[in-house]
Structure 1
Amino acid sequence: MNLPVVSPSFHRPPRHPYAWAWVFTASQLLVVGLWWRWGWPAGLPAMVASHLTVIWATLHPRSQLLAPALSRLPVADRAVWLTIDDGPSADTRAMLDLLDAHGARATFFLVGERASAQPELVREIVRRGHGIGQHSHTHPQAWFWALPPRAMRAQIDAAQAALTAITGTAPRWFRAVVGMSNPFVASALKRHGLARVAWSARGFDGVRCEPEQVVDRIERDLAPGAIVLAHEGAAHGRNVETLSLLLERLRALGYRCVVPDGDASVPEPSAGSAGEDIQRRREVESGIATH
């Protein structure tokens, strides 16, 4: 049976989604003051620096300037949060089988439009005890970072509605497309109580097709509490093979895959199942449900 746990304190939806606007306005007033007092030699560098700061905050996946972003779990032992982006896809069932075989749990960050086209896969993810997060509605990879307010809200609203309709439960976690989160994301997240999730270990398996290289890169960034980014459905067709190797490597290194409590409810494995020994070691720590 699942043990009772405390709701995780690290689930942090944006509280002040327009704070960036006040800060940016203040910075531009400062630029005007510098320009008026000392001319362009002082004003121009200040203006460039202020604009570059906004660009950096938009493009850097772990930036906290525009909205809170979780990139590591507060655990001290060898536990990681495995997250899988871009589904559902033709890879989903095979990935679920691999996770079952290793007694591991993951959170799937799903694209709303793809979920609506294959709702049975979404329900299968939930049935097997894994978490669901949202990853926009149409996955506009090239332009998500530049979407204006109305288009950004539409992406997040539509994905939330689609996933909630399929599963009966509203997702609690959000991952920006390609990790880029512009100033208009925060207000949409606050509307739905969504917390943004970044990552601390990735192997670029969305574009790289050599599983060994992908897993080697992830391993270099592994540490207690790491959030591992993986993908499904990439054009190179080797995401399942990569996940298999990754799960084997994690087990060899003594890492367990965990998900935040409330994201999944895993049934007890039957006697002799692959996850039996991990099930016996289940524990509660810092608001994390583990297997």
Structure 2
Amino acid sequence: MHAPHRPPRHPRAWLPLLLLSQAVVAWLWWRWGWPVGLPVMLATHAVAWWGVLAPNAALYGPVLSRLSADERQVWLTIDDGPSDDTLPILDLLDAHGARATFFLVGDRAQARPDLVREIASRGHGIANHSLTHPQARFWALGPRRMRAEIEGCQRQLQAITGAAPRWFRAVVGHANPFVSTPLRDAGLARVGWNARGFDAVERDVGRVVSRIEHDLAPGAIVLLHEGAPHGRSVEMIAAVLARLEALGYRAVVPEPGTA
């Protein structure tokens, strides 16, 4: 299974569209007044916010949200590590003959480099999930802080493993106009998902598995987490792996390919 690797080529492609939309708003307001101009302005702002908050929105740069696959193969992606859950999760993956990509937080990786090296040594992928995981404000980061989050994590992971990650996942899936330039400069492609169980907040294992199963299809990108506050991440991943196996799905790490 191959995944198109598409770092942003034109990180400011959204800017002409924004300027044109606001010129149209200004003209409509001048021509017909606020009853027409205001609703159109609000609609353009809603589109801009959709680009920030929707995890698979490509307004501010390309994002990979599903793969093309003929066989029953899926891409397991595990966010927020390394953590105390990492080793048990690696053992589970080994037991099921499964492979996954771990989207790691740079500062957490620096604190536990042995876990990062263990992930790599067992044949799993390592990807960039920001330096500090600013969950509440990633969507609002300015250009300098956004670059520091992306490039800082990239440096940490490369220093530990000797290889630069090729994939990036935005914190909480949010992006903004400043995410694409540092991704382009680092050669990173943004990855979303199309199967999730809200396992970072949901405590019920059955509900998590049911939600993921509902969205499963060949080539699905499955979003999972480790180290969740409820303490059941290992149990949830075990249940997901068992269900994938029962349904005849294989979890593989795709090879990056050209777009």
Identify the TM-score tier after normalising by the shorter chain.
over 0.9
Q: Aligned pair 1:215/2:209, yes or no?
A: yes
Distance 2:149 2:217 in 1: 33
SS, match of residue 132 in structure 1: strand
Q: Which residue of 2 aligns with 1:54?
A: 48
User: Which of 33, 45, 55 is matched with 1:39 structurally?
Assistant: 33
CA distance in 2, matches of 1:9, 1:224: 13
Specify the alignment match of 1:193 in structure 2: 187
- Aligned-partner residue type, residue 243 of structure 2: R
Which residue of 23, 35, 50 corresponds with 2:17? 23
Indicate which of 143, 160, 180 corresponds to 2:174. Answer: 180
Aligned to 1:283: none
Structure-2 change in CA distance of 1:9 and 1:122 (3 Å): closer
Q: Match for residue 279 of structure 1?
A: none
The residue matched to 2:4 in structure 1 has which SS?
Answer: coil
- Which position in structure 1 is the counterpart of 2:84? 90
The equivalent residue for 2:164 is 170
Query: 2:154: which partner in 1?
Result: 160
User: Structure 1 CA distance, aligned partners of 2:203 and 2:33?
Assistant: 53
1:204 counterpart residue number: 198
Q: Secondary structure at the match of 1:86?
A: strand
**Match in the other structure for 1:142:** 136
- Write the distance in 2 (CA, Å) between the matches of 1:199 and 1:173: 13
Find the counterpart in structure 1 of residue 93 from structure 2.
Answer: 99
From the superposition, tell whether residues 204 and 9 of structure 1 become closer, same or farther in structure 2 (CA, over 3 Å): closer
Q: 1:179 to 1:9 in 2, by over 3 A?
A: closer
Q: Which runs of no fewer than 5 residues in structure 2 stay unpaired?
A: none
Find the aligned partners of 2:70 and 2:193 in 1 and give their Cα distance.
Answer: 17
Shift of 1:9: 6.2
Q: CA separation in 1, counterparts of 2:255 and 2:192? A: 18
- How big is each residue's C-alpha offset from its partner over 1:220-239, in whole Å with a ceiling of 9 and x where there is no partner? 11011100000000111110
Per mean C-alpha deviation after superposition, the further-off stretch among 132-141 and 34-43 is 34-43
Equivalent residues of 2:197, 2:207 under 8 A apart: yes
Q: Distance in 2 between matches of 1:135 and 1:31?
A: 37
Moved over 3 A (4+): none
SS at match of 1:233: coil
> Which sections of structure 1, spanning at least 5 residues, go unmatched?
263-286
Aligned partners of 2:3 and 2:254 also within 8 Å: no
Q: Which amino acid aligns with 2:151?
A: D
Under a length normalisation based on structure 2, what TM-score does the superposition of the two structures give? 0.97
Structure 1 residue identity aligned to 2:88: A
Structural RMSD (CA): 1.2
Percentage of matched positions with identical amino acids: 64
Question: Hey, what does 1:273 align to over in structure 2?
Answer: none
Give 1:224's match in structure 2, choosing from 197, 211, 218: 218
| TM-score, normalisation: structure 1 | 0.86
